[in-house]
Structure 1
Amino acid sequence: MLVAEMMSAPRVELTETMPVGEAAQMLSATGCDGAPVTDGDGRLRGIVTQIDLLQDRFGPVAGDVATNRHLIPPRETLHVGDVMTDAVVTTEESDDAHELAHRMMETRIRCVPVVRDGVVVGVVRRGDLLRTYLRPDREIRRDVLEEIARRSPEAEALDAVVEDGSVTITGTDDTAVRRRIGDLAAKVPGVRAVEITGRE
């Protein structure tokens, strides 16, 4: 499965010159916890999260708060470009969705922009992972069989049963074939485990 099949359209795109208050309202209204920051041509400039937009609300803890206020610009003069992260993890439409999902889980990244020649064409959020991987067994079975059919000449002799994301494939005793179709099935979103049995 490719990232293009898992990604969703950006619900919010911010610009560097947008006031943080306006950006916060947009994220709140759309239920997004983060959004890409783009220029006038849609090219990625950075990413902003809800926590980034709260930076001006939390000054230094130590010392006199009154004497520390000058360390943070007033909210009306603070812009998205002042708080965004410009070192952004990105992906492309043709990348492997399974690998991206693992990376997001391991690094706890909430939102990954999908870019094409530097232009944002989509995003992958945690909600996209939930939608993709917590799928009904019937959909998983369909995709497993379709994936095997596309890449394995032995597909016609195989069948699959899926229960709570665990896939049992029947129909081959060939070790090499088992390894190949096992790898294919394991990459289908929603698959938790794969077992392959021989012909009955």
Structure 2
Amino acid sequence: MLVHEIMTAPVVTVRRTATIRQAVRLLYEQDITAAPVVERPGRMVGIVSEMDLLRGEFETDPRAFLRPEALPTGRPPALVEEVMTPRVATVGDGADVMDLLDLMITTGVKSVPVVRDDDLVGIVSRRDLMGLLVQGDERIRDDVLAALRDCAETAAFGAAVRGGVVELYGPGDERAARIAEMVVRTVPGVAGVVFPEGLVS
């Protein structure tokens, strides 16, 4: 499965010159945890998350301190560009979803912007990936059969799905079975592909 097949597009973005409060409202209303920061459409200069925006937004309660001199001083940030992360981990829209997952695991990020020729074209969040896993087996089977019918060499294959794992069966030689396997692996929600004993091992 490729990234462009699961990414969210168009992307909700925020200007680098937006105020913190404007960005907070945007993320809250759109129910997202992060947004790419742009200086013009398609030109990403950073990313800002909920935690970035929350830093400095709440006044310190003096009751939490025993001595008044312990109170923090300094102006809190006012603009998105002051709190954004300028170095952003991105992924190409033609990348494999497994590469995206590896990136999320190694960096700990929750959302990864998707680029094409350095232009921002989408974004993928952990929630997008989780959404693939909660699709029911019946829906996955329907999508698998539709994908198999689109290819003449695999149209005769049938499929059963349990727990996201697709079992392929039907007439065809090993070459046709391998093509069918490749086709099925492109279907969102497929966790694996198996064959009945004796077809392909």
- How does the TM-score come out when normalised to structure 1? 0.76
Structure 1 residue 69 and structure 2 residue 68: aligned?
no
Cα RMSD (Å): 3.4
1:167 maps onto 2:166 in alignment: yes
- Name the CA distance, whole Å, in 2 between partners of 1:171 and 1:12: 45
Tell me if the contact between 2:167 and 2:195 (Cα under 8 Å) persists in the aligned partners.
yes
Q: Which runs of 5+ in 2 are unaligned?
A: none
Change (3 A) 1:44 1:156: same
**How many percent of aligned residue pairs carry the same amino acid?**
34
Matches within 5 A, 1:1-200: 1-10=1-10, 12-57=12-57, 64-66=69-71, 68-70=72-74, 73-75=75-77, 78-104=78-104, 107-148=107-148, 153=153, 155-171=154-170, 181-182=180-181, 184-197=183-196, 198=198
More helix by share: 1
Q: Distance in 2 between matches of 1:106 and 1:69?
A: 36
CA distance in 2, matches of 1:28, 1:3: 25
Structure 2 length as normaliser, TM-score?
0.76
How much does 1:186 deviate? 4.1
**Cα 1:23/1:35, change in 2 over 3 Å:** same
Q: Residues 3 and 92 of structure 1 are in contact (CA less than 8 Å); yes or no, is this contact kept in structure 2?
A: yes
User: Which deviates further from its counterpart, 12-21 or 95-104?
Assistant: 95-104
Residues 34-80 of structure 1: CA deviation (Å, up to 9, x unaligned): 10001124301110000011221479x999532x323xx334xx211
Q: Distance in 1 between matches of 2:86 and 2:108?
A: 18
Distance 2:70 2:180 in 1: 63
User: Aligned equivalents of 1:119 and 1:157: distance in 2?
Assistant: 41
Is the CA contact (8 Å cut-off) linking 1:7 and 1:122 kept in structure 2?
A: yes
Of residues 130-139 and 158-167 in structure 1, the stretch that sits farther from structure 2 once superposed is: 130-139
In structure 1, what is the Cα distance between the partners aligned to 2:124 and 2:133? 13
The number of aligned residues is 193
- Specify every segment of 5 or more residues in structure 1 that has no aligned partner in the other structure, as ranges: none
For the structure 1 residues 119 and 29, does the alpha-carbon distance in structure 2 shift closer, same or farther, using more than 3 Å as the test?
same
Distance 1:138 1:114 in 2: 30
CA contact (8 A) 1:152 1:181 kept: no
